[in-house]
Amino acid sequence: MSFRNFILLLSICSYSCSPYPSDVKDALQYAGSNRRQLEQVLEHYSKTPSDSLKLRAAEFLIANMPGHWSFNSETLNDYYSRADTILNSKVPWKTKIEQLNRVSLEYPGIMGTTTEDIHVITAQYLIKNIEQAFDVWQNGPWAKHVLFDDFCEYLLPYKITDGQPLDNWRDSLKGRFCETLDLLKYNQYYRNSASRAAQIVRNNMRKHMWPKITMDFEGIPLLGASNIAKLPAGTCNEYAQVVLAVMRSNGIPVSIDMLPQWPYRGGGGGHSWNYLPDALRSHVIFEELNGVGPGGALRPYSPLGKVYRNTYAINRKLFQMQTEDQVPKLFSNIFLKDVTAEYAPVADAVVDVHPKMKINRSYAYLAVFNNKEWEPIAFGDVTRNSVKFRNMCKNIVYLPVYCTTKGLKPVNYPFILEHSGNVRHLIPDTTKRRSVVLSRKYPVFNGVFDMTMRTVGAKIQVSNTNDFKKAVTVHDIDEWFAAGVIQLPDSLPKYRYWRFRSPDKEYCNIAELMFFGPNDIIPHSGEIIGLKEMYKNDSIYSKEKAFDHDPLTYFHSATRDSAWVGMDFGEPVRVEKIVYLPRSDDNNIRLGDKYELFYWDKNGWCSLGKQKAKDIELKFDCVPGNVLLWLRDLTRGSEERIFTYEDDQQVWW
């Protein structure tokens, strides 16, 4: 019986003639020829009343086992053995990754051959794992505060993630990375602190394990007991899995939380990290990849959208959803629990089904934009002509959709879930068309902001002597701009030498500097002048980079004070306009690139026209009011983001 047939069967009937709870009876029926192994576990813990809690634990594992799976291949152990040899070698971590990827190619088909645990797990294996989990729960110092229901999720499961073989991972990792952990028993504050124990184990892992590099490992997943903690680089999810395995093996209750897609940017999809239920603080998280230890904050200034906890237990709502013809990939995973409300202020969003957007589904979804397409992250029940989406993060743009064989279809217009909890739909108002002026195609984040701040306080100076002893300041840059345009008065005399001088006590960081004469389309050219010394004496930071028409290269001075770069035009010239680009991300409007502006109408993106950039700003006319916009660079690049236009500014979502 396939898992899908099992779902369909349970929607019709339930099995009886058994002393066990109905969900356990259903699982036993689904186990088929392996049923006897599971019954032996239940019988083992039914013999004595003192094992009643272990019996409940066994029932929990068996009832929720359908859908959990492992890779099934006779050659898997051989692959793990060869991988172990590579992982234990002394070669650099990049070489290890390359070798593992090559070895993976020699084992085609392993990842395509899977077996559900319920059809192969043995009584001996399950009993051993239950005993080990109870031992660290009841006899260890780090989980005494954990109630039974939480114990079932954070310590009891016999595996860390699906795909992991049914091996002795607890034995392999027990005691690993536990240096100085026993010393906590002498400290009254920390003797039973799960978060403090997690901090010590984590610090030991950081000393002995990874270089902390984000890299998608393309080979066969290394989930075996001998190598799960040895992968030299990986994704946030792989780091979280390793942390989970080590912590649970040592009696520290941990799970993995994840968001399927960042709602304010694309690239990389979502994120995974670890969660720990502590005795004093109910909500403790840590991100191994980003160096956030237990008790730290998860990207405190980043909208989250939706957060799920990976569980062993089946989410019965998601289980029922599998009877739908089309389900987003995210929700084909029935082992998720919505924990968004633990991370951020939330509100329920009630969305009407638009009269012109008919839907004949039981479920609809909320999607966020991933820079290319809409990605579903939440679901809701369709009731008559509306859908209620629960516990949604605020101040985010969502698109309500439903699934068809041809992809996602809108249920209504996109909307902003405002801080008040109000749903504000972005319905194009063609009666209030206007002009918009656009300066970027992607928002400014911390790294770009910090670099561009280095221009605030800079000066544009001129002189007719190359020593600038009698320099004249013609403009003070006293405001922040991602890209700046300086208009000079017609009365300004001609000068031969022009320069950009850095702010006091700051490096000179400038990507592009352009001087335009009256009616010029291309900038003046001359001899590049400035400091010879460059950062780290590396030519990639030379003064020539400020005039190479590449916004991704830049002049970086060797010193912090009185640094400058400029141009000798050979004779005095009149400059009408100066364009400067701070060190940045090349998401400003780039001269010569071709752009297209789109807005979202009821059926999708509609073009508002194309333009070739002649300046560092673009102007589009006849743009509808109250509309969601998307500016695309058709020439280069991939970072683009949706926005609205409010108070003559781009507001990014």
Q: What pLDDT sits at residue 305?
A: 92
Encoded tokens for 290: 């980003």
pLDDT digits (tens, 9 = 90+) for 15-55: 445 688 999 999 999 999 999 999 999 999 999 999 999 99
Q: How many CA atoms lie within 13 A of 518 on its CB side?
A: 7
- pLDDT above 50 for 12: no
Cα–Cα–Cα angle for 561, 564, 565, rounded to 5 degrees: 160
Report if pTM > 0.75.
yes
Q: What pLDDT sits at residue 24?
A: 97
- pLDDT above 90 for 11: no
Q: What pLDDT sits at residue 389?
A: 97
- pLDDT above 60 for 527: yes
Contacts of 83 (CB under 8 A, 6+ apart): 100, 103, 222, 227
What are the E-state strand segments in 489-593? 495-501, 509-516, 527-530, 555-556, 564-573, 577-582
Q: Are 639 and 587 in contact (CB under 8 A)?
A: yes
Which domains, from first to last, does the chain contain?
73-112+122-310 (no CATH), 316-425 (2.60.40), 433-442+589-652 (2.60.40), 446-582 (no CATH)
Encoded tokens for 340: 């968004």
Q: Are 255 and 154 in contact (CB under 8 A)?
A: yes
DSSP code for 493: P
The candidate with the shortest Cα–Cα distance to 415, out of 403, 427, 432, 431, is 427
Q: Are 163 and 112 in contact (CB under 8 A)?
A: no
Binned at pLDDT 50, 70 and 90, residue 289 comes out as: low
Residue located via tokens 């050219």: 525
User: What is the mean pLDDT of the segment spanning 247-260?
Assistant: 96
Q: Picking from 174-183, 282-291, 355-364, which range would have the lowest pLDDT averaged per residue?
A: 282-291
The candidate with the shortest Cα–Cα distance to 151, out of 130, 172, 169, 174, is 130
Q: Picking from 43-57, 347-361, 554-568, which range would have the lowest pLDDT averaged per residue?
A: 347-361
The H or E element containing residue 111 is: none
Encoded tokens for 55: 């019996």
**Distance of alpha carbon 551 from alpha carbon 561, whole angstroms:** 23
Length of the chain equals: 653
- pLDDT above 70 for 249: yes
